[in-house]
């Protein structure tokens, strides 16, 4: 009788384990309602360029998905107001027969309700890229937004457009240092503090994953003075290109009123290349 009780106990334990494992298997990566990391694309980031607002070139964009329904966008959205980083929530998720996930996002843009329509985006089956959306919020053309690595490449190093020294003169050649500062080169020469030709001009920068905030400089607007202009940028998934834009209209970048391409090609997102 004692041996039978032991066998019964083992069988009961095995049955409980089977039931528990069967219940857990329903919450696999293909179930958009599984807890914790709610969706297969949880805690991911996609970077590249997109039509953000009604702008004259595609703007840099970082789109991050949390482990629930949260979404964060980093760009420069201009509607009635300026939005440098704006958040939203996923309101619907569907999976099609090709293994693609389609998500509907409603961004939180107070006072912009006339523009703020739900945005629908689609991940490809292996989650390596993202497309969709619509003007005037964030429209992502096919192939422009890629999955960013969880360990972000460092900005430290030299960045430039060496074959085009006239493009994007505020930032055309820069060195990013480990201590969070930058130096500048314009016309092939280093930029020094105006009060001391022996000290290189520096400004701070910050890196948050793919999201970079830094400064451009203009030494020609007023003799003897150096004007700093706020810029932001987004690293590509391979860490080799920094797409950039400015928060200020005084930045020397292509604009819709340019008759000639003095500061870079019209309609093309400004960028720096890792050297």
50 membership: H or E segment, kind and range: strand 44-52
Residues 6+ apart with CB under 8 A from 62: 45, 46, 47, 73, 74, 75, 148, 209, 210, 211, 234
Helix (H, G, I), strand (E, B) or coil at 144: strand
Is it the case that residue 20 has pLDDT exceeding 90? no
Residues 6+ apart with CB under 8 A from 259: none
Band of residue 225 on the pLDDT scale cut at 50, 70, 90: confident
Report the pLDDT averaged over residues 110-120.
91
Residue whose pair of structure tokens reads 């960028």 in the numeric block: 271
Report the pLDDT averaged over residues 130-141.
95
Residues 6+ apart with CB under 8 A from 46: 62, 63, 64, 129, 130, 145, 146, 147, 148
Q: How many CA atoms lie within 13 A of 181 on its CB side?
A: 6
- Contact call for residues 44 and 253 (beta carbons, < 8 A): no
Report the pLDDT averaged over residues 204-211.
98
Provide DSSP, 83-101: EEEEEEEEEEEEE-TTS-E
Of the chain, the end-to-end C-alpha distance in Å amounts to 79
pLDDT value, residue 259: 67
Is it the case that residue 260 has pLDDT exceeding 80? no
**More confidently predicted of 26 and 106:** 106
pLDDT in tens, 230-240: 999 999 999 99
Helix (H, G, I), strand (E, B) or coil at 16: helix
Is it the case that residue 36 has pLDDT exceeding 60? no
pLDDT value, residue 261: 81
Cβ neighbours of 202 (radius 10 Å): 17
* Tokens at 108, concatenated: 């939180």
Percent of the chain at pLDDT > 70 equals: 85
Report the pLDDT averaged over residues 117-137.
95
Is it the case that residue 258 has pLDDT exceeding 90? no
Is it the case that residue 247 has pLDDT exceeding 90? yes
- Contact call for residues 53 and 59 (beta carbons, < 8 A): yes
pLDDT value, residue 4: 42
**pLDDT-wise least confident of 23-32, 37-46, 181-190:** 23-32
Is it the case that residue 192 has pLDDT exceeding 70? yes
Band of residue 224 on the pLDDT scale cut at 50, 70, 90: confident
Cβ neighbours of 123 (radius 10 Å): 25
Question: What rounded mean pLDDT belongs to the chain?
Answer: 86
pTM above 0.75, yes or no: yes
pLDDT value, residue 275: 97
pLDDT value, residue 246: 97
Q: Rounded to an integer, what distance in angstroms lies between the CA atom of residue 71 and that of residue 233? A: 19
């Amino acid at each position: 009788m004692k041996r039978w009780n032991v066998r019964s106990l083992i069988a009961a334990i095995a049955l409980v384990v089977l039931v528990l494992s069967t219940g857990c298997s329903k919450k696999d990566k293909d179930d958009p309602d599984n807890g914790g990391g709610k969706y297969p694309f949880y805690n991911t980031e996609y970077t590249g360029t997109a039509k953000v607002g009604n702008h004259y070139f595609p703007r840099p964009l970082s789109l991050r998905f949390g482990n629930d329904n949260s979404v964060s966008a980093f760009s420069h959205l201009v509607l009635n107001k300026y939005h440098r980083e704006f958040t939203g929530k996923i309101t619907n998720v569907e999976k099609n027969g090709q293994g693609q996930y389609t998500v509907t996002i409603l961004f939180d843009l107070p006072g912009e309700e006339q523009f703020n329509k739900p945005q629908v985006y689609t991940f490809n089956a292996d989650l390596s890229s993202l497309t969709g959306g619509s003007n005037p919020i964030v429209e992502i053309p096919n192939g422009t937004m890629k999955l960013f690595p969880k360990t972000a490449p460092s900005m430290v190093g030299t960045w430039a457009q060496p074959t085009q020294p006239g493009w994007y003169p505020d930032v055309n050649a820069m060195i990013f240092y480990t201590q969070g500062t930058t130096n500048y080169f314009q016309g092939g020469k280093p930029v020094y503090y105006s009060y001391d030709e022996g000290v290189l001009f520096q400004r701070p920068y910050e890196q948050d994953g793919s999201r970079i905030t830094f400064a451009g400089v203009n030494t020609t607007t007023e003799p003897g003075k150096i004007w700093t202009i706020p810029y932001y940028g987004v690293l590509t998934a391979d860490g080799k290109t920094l797409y950039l834009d400015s928060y200020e209209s005084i930045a020397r970048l292509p604009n819709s009123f340019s008759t000639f391409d003095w500061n870079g090609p019209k309609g093309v997102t400004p960028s720096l290349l890792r050297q």
